[in-house]
Structure 1
Amino acid sequence: MHESKTSPMGEDMRRKVLVLVGPVVVVPLGIFLLHHSRTRKLEELFSGPARAAQVSKLPYLPGYRYDLRAYERYTQERSYEALGIPSPPRIEPLSWPGGAAREEFEAMMRRRAEAVTGATAVLRLRSPSVYRERRPSPLLRITYPPDGAVFPPNLCTPEVEWEDPLDDIWQVKVGAGEREWTFVTHRRRWWFPEEVWEELKRVGGEIWVEVRGTRKDGSGPVYVSGRVHFSFAPCPADDFVVYRIVSPPFNPKKAPDMFVRDIRSFKEELFLSARRKYCFNCHTFSSKRGDEGKLALQVRYMAGGDYDLRVYLGIYDISSRKGWKVRLPFSIQMSTFVSWSPDGEKLAFSANQQLVTLHPVVFETQFAGEPTSDIAIYDLPENKAYLLPGASEPDLLEIYPRWTPNGDSLVFCSAPAGLHPAQVKYDLMVIPFEGGEPRPVPGASLNGRSNYYPRFSPDGRWLSFCTSDGGSLIKSSSDIYIMRSDLKGPPRRLESNVDYAADSWHSWSSNSRWLVFASKRDDGIYARLYFTYIDEEGHAHPAVRLPVKELPPASYNIPEFVAHRPPITDGNLYKAVRVEGPALSVQGG
């Protein structure tokens, strides 16, 4: 029997293999053990009993409401002329309160806030507003999502946010049925991992989340927040939202870009660039599908050049991929807040408009309004446009038209002309689409409030609209109301509103079960997009935000739900509606 012997060359080769393979095995193993040890130490910080962070209802910080005493006589004296003062110019230059405020505000706008945008106390005191901010919580408290929130099942992963002035490390627990997940974070904002979010959708039912906080050095007790519960709705929202992003304060020279967002992901795409010289506004689709029908929008060109038509209506046919400019048969070409008839053949819009901005402030509100406005109809097959008889009175402002679901009438807003924007209180009116005597909508007119932005649900069951203390544009007192679409029965305030900030422009999903709306509840300055689920009885559930990883220092503006991604590119749409293109002249009716 012979013993096998390893040659010196073979022994050397084995040593080399061990040298090469050893680190491949040892290094990952070491990393794993180090991570496991670190995780165990972090978890030990939260072991043992925890104190319940019991926070009573937090009071609001002192806030401001509009002081309208200077404008009270406008209620009796309806016109500027009667007051012996000149009418406001079409565009009034912006003025900034205080010398340092402008620099301070612009510097703040340049910063990208990581979580919730803020504002200095100095600027808050300079801004008349109905926005109210709660006092900071003295203990750990979850601030988002709200308890009882209902999420669209097709929404991408959201975040959990909390206040905690004492601790510097937190443990997030999530539970659904028999399942629980635990995570540790060093920040007061935590995002659901995608795999956990998908599993929660699969499990369904009522889901809860709680947060525990302590000190990393182990010097403090462990506090645990109250549990927040949420669930998923039985039906999805539309997959896409088209909106603008606008930095405050508002003025007619702003050139905001338009974007389209797939809510199933964080993907935001440019829809139409303003190219720093256009204002594209009041976009609306004739079909809630989004991939068929037509798109209408108002266009204002604000740069140089010898163009006789600088304000006009733009139309884009999604099916043919063709668009055109429209020259209306009116002396004033401003045409905003357009609405398609149910058959997609006619447009109702606010015509003969002028725009004035007064006493702008640097936060969520300012005085903006229209000294003149009429309701007009554009019949596309006939290539005719005309002012609607009964909704084009010279002593009234008529604005914000919407077709009723059967297409035989229009709901619009009416108020006396000549008032200061702060004193305008719109009534909702209904009129046959061929014109006639308008009738006030019960409960949405002559109620001491301003009623505006009417929207019908696609299934024809509901009419939603906004109300505020006065005016319509950029009102921090705005809330969303709902009533039956037959205009019978009292309107009621949606449960998804907050009573301390603006909830405003909104759009229905194609299945009539969701509203997307602009809200300034996060900081009173910038509007974010929120979704609220509308149940079979027309009741709204606590609203949830469109998740955004990097917040721009700007407002999300005029959101419109569509079921599918509109097959429109920025280049094609811009080519169709740019100022250099030919205009289709529309005949007078």
Structure 2
Amino acid sequence: MIINPVTFIIMNLSMFINRYCYFCLLVWVCISCQSVSKDITEELSQKPRLFPDYTDIVIPYNIAPLNFKVVGRPERVEAVLRFSDESWVLTGEEKIIFPEKKWKQWLEKAKGGRISVTLKAEWDGKTYQYAPFDWEVSIAPIDPVLVYRKIEPGYTTTNTMSINQRNLTNFNDEVLIDNMKSETGCINCHSFCQNDPDQMLFHSRQKNPGTYFIRHGEIEKVDTQAGEMSQAAGYPFWHPSGNYIAFSVSQTRQIFYEGKTPIEVFDLGSDVIVYDLKDKKSYTIPELFADSLHNNYPVFTPDGETLIYCGGKAVQVPEYKSDLKLSLCAIRFDADKMEFGETVDTLVSASRINKSMLHPRVSPCGRFLLYTEVEYGSFSNYHKSSDLALYDLKNKTHRTLDEINSEDVDSFHSWSSVGGWVVFSSRRNDGYYTYPWFTQINDAGKASKPFLLPQEDPDFYIYCLTSYNVPELVKGKVSIDPYNLRKTVMEAPVIKSKYKIQNDRI
């Protein structure tokens, strides 16, 4: 058999390339598996500087791997994990990346215990061993899905934005609603009924406006503006029955400045209503809806019997915006009769602590009310004074959660349906982008050291140019048919809601 010279050359070249690639692969494997020198130059008393900072934290047993890197660009790093009589050694250039399967096995075994992590790092041929740190693995899981709005940190245009869902047990992140593909405008205010992925709503502003209710696969488009309402409703919160939703009716504006606070967001006015999903009708009372009052951010308690909101006297804004300070207020609510109580109780007085309180959220057990404290106003997003605080509904006490607050904005938050886990928004990374952080609040109201949402690559947040806005925890994956959604947006008639103010207290 005679082989064509060209064919002969190609065959030999192919063989050479295959062998060369195999050799390079072997070299890479050998280098990547190379351990840090066993000869320790110095044992350090301090703990390592990691990014993200995952030292000495409490974690749910179903969280994704806590991949991290050692700050300072070491040549090699080695992490030794120990639990019970087992150990696990991992190495890398400057990052420690955990295989998902083995990570899950380890956390499952370590539930209710502590994993000790000892780190060694090599610089200029010298090996340093740091003091060990611990991961306390809680027996309580966290709701496995985080739903958030992915948005550029701009102020004047909607551009492209989406509502995404991230699986917290791994690194899967997918788009739920894309404002370009779904033909919606500024999509916002996504909300779930008691962390239920099958009962959801979101708003679309500007383009194809409306409130979209998605319940068990059915999609409904509603115009919530009716009667004396200045505009459509926002800032929703579901009643535990799934039959009612509390809304704010806010005239939101923004202005720009030079200096430390380049933007100020404020409401010209704000009122509170409760929307009946069956009757397509909004109800309110003079205590919740009046020009002389500023009421915002309503939520229901888990038993559905109390409506909590942020309220105070209305002031002229933006001229006197620093005088707007809202208290935590509560009023009884009878869902069967669609009836409000006659007395408004003040839980925490703004005048007493000289701050404005926003974003109240009650724990699923009904014990704790988590909220945001800010120097003034009804928006905390751009105020570095914004901190998280906790009100004990049983003992009637409140305090600022100094153990989890930062020097930058700490703001919007939501509870997991189980385990005392909380996700909250913070700009503490760089002061510009908002990312989700997690903490566990125990039975005594003490919050654990917060940790940043894990990513497959620890450098993710260096290159990420979008914020994670309005983080909400849900019990499972959200399923939305994109074709059905787009068809509803483009073709379905808008349901016009009705309105009633109960002056006679029916």
| Fold shared per TM-score above 0.5 | yes
- Give the Å deviation of 1:234: 0.5
Asked if the contact 2:90–2:96 (Cα under 8 Å) also holds between the matched residues in 1, the reply is no
Asked if the contact 1:249–1:362 (Cα under 8 Å) also holds between the matched residues in 2, the reply is no
More displaced stretch, 339-348 vs 201-210: 201-210
- Give the Å deviation of 1:324: 2.2
Distance between the aligned counterparts of 1:238 and 1:404, measured in 2?
A: 19
Partner of 1:557: 469
**Paired residue for 1:172, among 63, 71, 79?**
79
**Paired residue for 1:355, among 232, 235, 252?**
252
Matches within 5 A, 1:313-392: 313-316=211-214, 318-319=215-216, 321-330=218-227, 331-351=229-249, 353-359=250-256, 366-392=263-289
Partner of 1:449: 355
Task: Report the residue type matching 1:47 in the other structure.
Answer: K
Residue by residue over 1:445-504, the C-alpha shift from the partner in whole angstroms, topping out at 9 and shown as x without a partner, is 631111110111222222111112223231332222222335x42112336513322221
TM-aligned CA distance change 1:432 to 1:200, over 3 Å? same
Asked if the contact 1:314–1:326 (Cα under 8 Å) also holds between the matched residues in 2, the reply is no
Task: Report the residue type matching 2:492 in the other structure.
Answer: G
Greater C-alpha Rg: 1
Matched, 1:213 2:111: no
Distance between the aligned counterparts of 1:182 and 1:364, measured in 2?
A: 47
Asked if the contact 1:51–1:222 (Cα under 8 Å) also holds between the matched residues in 2, the reply is yes
**Paired residue for 1:157, among 44, 65, 74?**
65
Distance between the aligned counterparts of 1:360 and 1:315, measured in 2?
A: 37
SS at 2:103 equivalent: helix
Partner of 1:507: 414
TM-aligned CA distance change 1:32 to 1:203, over 3 Å? farther
TM-score by length of 1: 0.71
Gaps of 5+ in 1: 1-22, 57-139, 303-309
**C-alpha RMSD over aligned residues:** 3.2
TM-aligned CA distance change 1:31 to 1:176, over 3 Å? farther
Matched, 1:431 2:324: no
TM-score by length of 2: 0.82
TM-aligned CA distance change 1:564 to 1:264, over 3 Å? same
Matches within 5 A, 1:38-437: 38=31, 42-43=34-35, 46-53=37-44, 141-164=49-72, 167-187=74-94, 189-204=95-110, 205-215=113-123, 219-251=124-156, 253=158, 255-275=160-180, 278-291=185-198, 294-302=199-207, 311-316=209-214, 318-319=215-216, 321-330=218-227, 331-351=229-249, 353-359=250-256, 366-415=263-312, 416-420=314-318, 421=321, 423-433=323-333, 434=340, 436-437=342-343
SS at 1:295 equivalent: strand
SS at 1:491 equivalent: strand
Distance between the aligned counterparts of 1:350 and 1:252, measured in 2?
A: 23
SS at 1:371 equivalent: strand
- Give the Å deviation of 1:182: 2.7
- Give the Å deviation of 1:546: 2.0
SS at 1:198 equivalent: helix
Asked if the contact 1:354–1:373 (Cα under 8 Å) also holds between the matched residues in 2, the reply is yes
Distance between the aligned counterparts of 1:52 and 1:185, measured in 2?
A: 20
Asked if the contact 2:204–2:210 (Cα under 8 Å) also holds between the matched residues in 1, the reply is yes
- Give the Å deviation of 1:569: 2.6
Distance between the aligned counterparts of 1:36 and 1:368, measured in 2?
A: 53
TM-aligned CA distance change 1:445 to 1:574, over 3 Å? farther
Gaps of 5+ in 2: 1-15, 334-339, 501-506
Distance between the aligned counterparts of 2:286 and 2:99, measured in 1?
A: 57
- Give the Å deviation of 1:30: 7.9
Task: Report the residue type matching 1:430 in the other structure.
Answer: A
- Give the Å deviation of 1:278: 0.8
Task: Report the residue type matching 2:234 in the other structure.
Answer: T
Task: Report the residue type matching 2:469 in the other structure.
Answer: N
Partner of 2:385: 477
Residue by residue over 1:152-189, the C-alpha shift from the partner in whole angstroms, topping out at 9 and shown as x without a partner, is 11111121233226x433223322233333333223x3
TM-aligned CA distance change 1:320 to 1:182, over 3 Å? closer
- Give the Å deviation of 1:399: 0.8
- Give the Å deviation of 1:332: 2.5
Asked if the contact 1:459–1:512 (Cα under 8 Å) also holds between the matched residues in 2, the reply is no
TM-aligned CA distance change 1:524 to 1:543, over 3 Å? same
Asked if the contact 1:289–1:510 (Cα under 8 Å) also holds between the matched residues in 2, the reply is no
Residue by residue over 1:210-264, the C-alpha shift from the partner in whole angstroms, topping out at 9 and shown as x without a partner, is 332224xxx4422223322112111100111211011113346455210112211
SS at 2:197 equivalent: coil
- Give the Å deviation of 1:380: 2.3
Residue by residue over 1:65-93, the C-alpha shift from the partner in whole angstroms, topping out at 9 and shown as x without a partner, is xxxxxxxxxxxxxxxxxxxxxxxxxxxxx
Residue by residue over 1:490-529, the C-alpha shift from the partner in whole angstroms, topping out at 9 and shown as x without a partner, is 1123365133222211111112521111122222221111
Distance between the aligned counterparts of 2:155 and 2:133, measured in 1?
A: 37
Task: Report the residue type matching 2:393 in the other structure.
Answer: S
- Give the Å deviation of 1:426: 1.8
Between Structure 1 and Structure 2, the one with more strand by share is 2
Partner of 1:133: none
Distance between the aligned counterparts of 1:510 and 1:435, measured in 2?
A: 28
Partner of 2:478: 566
Asked if the contact 1:241–1:562 (Cα under 8 Å) also holds between the matched residues in 2, the reply is yes
SS at 1:548 equivalent: coil
TM-aligned CA distance change 1:235 to 1:334, over 3 Å? same
Q: How many residues align?
A: 464
Residue by residue over 1:84-104, the C-alpha shift from the partner in whole angstroms, topping out at 9 and shown as x without a partner, is xxxxxxxxxxxxxxxxxxxxx
Partner of 1:110: none
Task: Report the residue type matching 2:40 in the other structure.
Answer: P
SS at 1:370 equivalent: strand
Partner of 1:124: none
Matched, 1:547 2:450: no
Equivalent pairs: percent with the same residue?
24
Matched, 1:533 2:440: yes
- Give the Å deviation of 1:141: 2.6
TM-aligned CA distance change 1:168 to 1:234, over 3 Å? same
